[in-house]
A and B are shown apart, each in its own frame.
Chain A
Amino acid sequence: QKEVEQNSGPLSVPEGAIASLNCTYSDRGSQSFFWYRQYSGKSPELIMFIYSNGDKEDGRFTAQLNKASQYVSLLIRDSQPSDSATYLCAVNVAGGYNKLIFGAGTRLAVHP
């Protein structure tokens, strides 16, 4: 069974701090990694994707990938209360089409 593991949280950070969200995956053949944000009662919204080892930055968000350790993370700088949501890590299933396996998500709470 291919798995994606995330700490369920809640992760509580003060406004303006850096939030660090982590994810591990079991399929060594996975090549594509995605972070989705999901507000309560809403559908998942893509915020970052990363395909290569290293860091990828987009505004306040940085995705980090380490394929050797099978680890992907998301850093949110200058966290805002509006960032409070569940963050879903998704990993493609190797050797086929665009099927994604999702973790259970980490709930982030940014308090003023």
Chain B
Amino acid sequence: GAGVSQSPRYKVAKRGQDVALRCDPISGHVSLFWYQQALGQGPEFLTYFQNEAQLDKSGLPSDRFFAERPEGSVSTLKIQRTQQEDSAVYLCASSPPGRTDHNSPLHFGNGTRLTVT
């Protein structure tokens, strides 16, 4: 399909394990975002890439969280030494370049549901 693809769909990790979540954005979308969504809450911004450059990582909750997009396409969100509070759905979104006067919508993938036991 032509949408944002995320894998795995579900991930169960034992506390202390490292995990890697993958996002394949819509072709041609230069902007890529990672959001974290806790149960019953709206998505919370984690980080933003424009092509391969990570221009904003202000939402990453700790230095255990790391994201990369080395070739400006696929992105990986890595969480080291997972904790129970990391349990959430991790959403990836992409968007095409916006105009100067308004922003383009974000297109979300299906998300990865991470459960840390």
Please list the residues of chain A having a beta carbon within 8 angstroms of any beta carbon in chain B: 4, 31-32, 34, 36, 42-46, 49, 51, 88, 90, 92, 96-105
B33 within 8 A of A: yes
Q: How far is the CB of B7 from chain A (nearest CB, A)?
A: 14
Q: Do A99 and B40 have beta carbons less than 8 Å apart?
A: no
Known A43-B109, A43-B110; judge A97-B102 contact (CB<8 A).
Answer: no
Does B101 make an interface contact (CB < 8 A)? Answer: yes
In this complex, what residue of B is CB-closest to A96? Answer: B56
| Cβ-defined contact, B102 with A99, below 8 A | no
Whether the Cβ atoms of B110 and A98 lie closer than 8 Å is no
Closest to B38 in A: A104
Show 30 residue pairs from A and B whose CB-CB distance is below 8 angstroms, ordered by the A residue: A4-B42, A31-B103, A32-B102, A36-B108, A43-B109, A43-B110, A43-B111, A44-B108, A46-B107, A51-B101, A88-B43, A90-B42, A96-B56, A97-B55, A98-B31, A98-B33, A98-B48, A98-B95, A98-B103, A98-B104, A99-B33, A99-B48, A99-B56, A100-B45, A100-B106, A101-B45, A102-B43, A102-B44, A103-B42, A104-B41
Interface centre among A36, A90, A97 (most CB of B within 10 A): A97
Most buried by A among B31, B40, B43, B95: B43
Chain B residue with Cβ nearest A103: B42
Contact A97 B48 (CB under 8 A): yes
Task: Provide the bound-state CA to CA distance between A96 and B98, in Å.
Answer: 11
B105 CB–A CB distance under 8 Å: yes
B50 interface hit (Cβ, 8 Å): yes
Q: Say whether B79 faces chain A, with CB atoms less than 8 Å apart.
A: no
Tell yes or no: B91 within 8 A of A by CB.
Answer: yes
Besides A99-B33, A100-B33, 12 more A-B contacts (Cβ < 8 Å) are A32-B103, A36-B108, A43-B91, A43-B108, A43-B109, A49-B105, A88-B42, A90-B106, A97-B50, A98-B98, A102-B43, A104-B40
Cα distance, A4 to B35, chains bound together (Å): 16
Which chain B residues border A44 with CB–CB below 8 Å? 43, 91, 108
In angstroms, Cα B41 to Cα A46, docked, is 17
- B101 nearest CB across to chain A (Å): 7
